[in-house]
């Protein structure tokens, strides 16, 4: 998968859109911050969600994190492999570790997300802040 097709949120989710369907997961940066992921609470298939609504929960050895939907829409499918193998998020955050597929209800929302270049700059700023406060 080419990362140029991905868009990112400030909460470190990614979405890869094809036609009006999006594949969603968390970024490599997010999984590295979380550490070893031990359980994933997946969203319900068929659920209608709003942009940036909390839809899933990832538990790692360090913390529990909400996963937010980058767009509004209808949950089409969830990655059931994560129930038995949550570590897929650590190992393959952009492929085998995807979390859910969503049918977009408003493609216009994609314009509020970041490109890879913008996301990389955002992470660099975040890292500066955390070292300044650390």
> pLDDT value at position 119?
97
> pLDDT value at position 65?
96
26 with 99: CB under 8 angstroms?
Answer: yes
H or E element that contains 116: helix 116-133
Phi-psi map region of 34: left, alpha, beta (phi>0 left; psi -120 to 50 alpha): alpha
| Radius of gyration, alpha carbons of the chain | 14
> pLDDT value at position 1?
43
The per-residue pLDDT for range 75-114, each reduced to its tens digit, is: 999 999 999 999 999 999 999 999 999 999 999 999 999 9
Taking the domains of the chain in order of start, what are their residue ranges? 3-106+114-124
> pLDDT value at position 98?
98
Rounded distance between C-alpha atoms, residue 109 and residue 2, angstroms: 21
User: Mean pLDDT throughout 126-130?
Assistant: 86
Per the prediction, the chain carries an average pLDDT of 94
pTM of the model: 0.94
% the chain with pLDDT above 90: 90
- Domain 3-106+114-124 -> CATH class: mainly beta
> pLDDT value at position 107?
95
26 in helix, strand or coil?
A: strand
Geometric angle at alpha carbon 61, from 60 and 67, rounded to 5°: 15
Geometric angle at alpha carbon 79, from 53 and 52, rounded to 5°: 10
The per-residue pLDDT for range 59-74, each reduced to its tens digit, is: 999 999 999 999 999 9
């Amino acid at each position: 998968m080419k990362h140029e097709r991905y868009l990112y949120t400030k909460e470190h989710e990614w979405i890869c859109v094809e036609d009006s369907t999006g594949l969603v997961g968390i970024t490599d940066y997010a999984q590295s911050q979380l550490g070893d992921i031990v359980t994933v609470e997946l969203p319900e298939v068929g659920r209608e969600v709003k942009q940036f609504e909390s839809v899933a929960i990832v538990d790692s050895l360090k913390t529990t994190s909400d996963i937010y939907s980058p767009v509004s829409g209808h949950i089409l499918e969830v990655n059931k492999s994560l129930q038995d193998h949550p570590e897929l998020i650590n190992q393959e955050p952009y492929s085998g570790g995807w979390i859910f597929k969503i049918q977009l209800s408003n493609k216009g929302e994609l314009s509020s997300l970041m490109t890879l270049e913008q996301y990389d700059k955002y992470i660099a700023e975040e890292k500066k802040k955390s070292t300044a406060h650390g």
